[in-house]
Amino acid sequence: MLTLNQVSRRYGGATALDGVDFVVPENTYMALLGASGAGKTTLLRLIAGFEEPDQGTISLNGARIDGQPSHLRDIGFVFQNFALFPHLTVAENVAFGLRHRAHAPLTNEAEIKDRTDAALQLVGLTGFGHRGVSAISGGQRQRVALARTLVCEPRIVLLDEPLGALDANLRSRMCDELKAIRERLGVSFLHVTGSETEALTMGDQVAVLANGRIMQSDAPDTLFSHPGNAEAARHLNAWNIFDAGLCRGDLRQGPIAVRFDQIDVSAKGTAPSARPSLHATYLTGEFNGPTALSFFRAADGTLLQVVDHLSQPRLPDLVEGQGYDLHFAADALRQFHGAA
Ligand SMILES: Nc1ncnc2c1ncn2[C@@H]1O[C@H](COP(=O)(O)OP(=O)(O)OP(=O)(O)O)[C@@H](O)[C@H]1O
């Protein structure tokens, strides 16, 4: 189990991480979701030991690792750009870590070969060992990077946007593979990403990092259905967040959130009186295959989105520039304390 306790990191006057409390349990695929600049890479670099926190502690299985040299932490790191050696073969790239690690480097060629072959088999690259790393596909390069990390049997694996350099089809295939490989190994993976879809698909647990803090860490379905604050909701790209004052109905003051797929639309003045509702102007629509997204503007300028599933359409025909009532079940909304 990896534990960060009140970890902070500043660069000059800028705070990258601000009192982060974070736990990655054993044998877990942990996804860390955050926007660009949220501090994701900084967090991984502190765990790996490439940098030290200004404050706070980092422990692995109960023992402090902050302050320890990086190469003694037994932590694997898979970089976004794979960082393979271009002049080495696939097998040589994988074996490199075994030969050169600071802690008990291997010299026995038979053992190096056995462990390299096992790592290549684990990532589905048996038979590719002799190839140059420029003679394989992007997805295969990603798997070499993973094999190179896994061959050293790290206690936890950190993955920095590992699918970022892959095209969309390959990305979804690699999602399944990464999950399967982790399950076979039984070590925890900490995978950082800016994509909510990737985080929710991959993670046994998903943490949201914003403004240098962990906003929420939960099972993906809990996070998606019950974001605990406006910042977590905003990262899921599925929730409208607006001021309760816009609504007709008996609501507490402050920011509220309603999911894109839980809002209904009626002609102006026809919202059922039992449901909270607000007026908004229809801007435009967007088809995304099986779903359609409609955009509205509320009186205070807030942009609202409504998702309609084409197999079960709920929305009337909408006219651009015309006002509508947007309404929802009272139990569909979430209210948060503090600013939106
Ligand atoms: N070496 C550094 N010197 C100064 N500022 C830095 C340094 N490294 C990171 N920062 C700043 O710290 C903040 C967090 O950066 P970090 O790279 O951790 O974000 P990130 O979430 O990984 O972003 P991205 O998804 O864009 O890679 C940013 O504001 C960044 O500009």
Average pLDDT over residues 259-268: 95
Candidate from 42, 211, 214 with most ligand 1 atoms within 8 A of CB, to mutate: 42
Band of pLDDT at residue 267, cut at 50, 70 and 90 = very high
Please return the burial class of 201, using the count of CB atoms within 10 Å of its CB with bins 0-12, 13-18 and 19+. middle
Give tens-digit pLDDT for 59-88: 999 999 999 999 889 899 988 777 888 899
Number of H helices, E strands in the chain: 8, 18
| Domains, in order of start, for the chain | 2-235 (3.40.50.300), 240-335 (2.40.50.140)
Candidate from 11, 45, 158, 211 with most ligand 1 atoms within 8 A of CB, to mutate: 11
Q: Which atom of ligand 1 is nearest to the CA of 45?
A: 18
Specify the residue with its C-alpha closest to ligand 1, atom 8.
Answer: 42
Give tens-digit pLDDT for 95-106: 998 898 777 788
Band of pLDDT at residue 312, cut at 50, 70 and 90 = confident
Calculate the alpha carbon distances from 212 to 34, 39, 278, 293 in Å: 10, 6, 34, 31
Asked whether 38 lines ligand 1 (CB < 6 A), one says: yes
Amino acid 340: pLDDT: 43
Considering the chain, what is the average pLDDT of its residues? 91
More confident residue, 144 or 174: 144
Give tens-digit pLDDT for 210-250: 999 999 999 999 999 999 999 999 999 999 999 999 998 77
Amino acid 111: pLDDT: 92
Distance, CA of 318 to CA of 331 (rounded, Å): 26
- Among left, alpha and beta (phi > 0; psi -120 to 50; other), residue 191 is beta
Asked whether 34 lines ligand 1 (CB < 6 A), one says: yes
Centre of ligand 1 from the C-alpha of residue 11, in Å = 9
| Packed helices 138-150 and 90-100: angle between N→C axes, nearest 10 degrees | 20
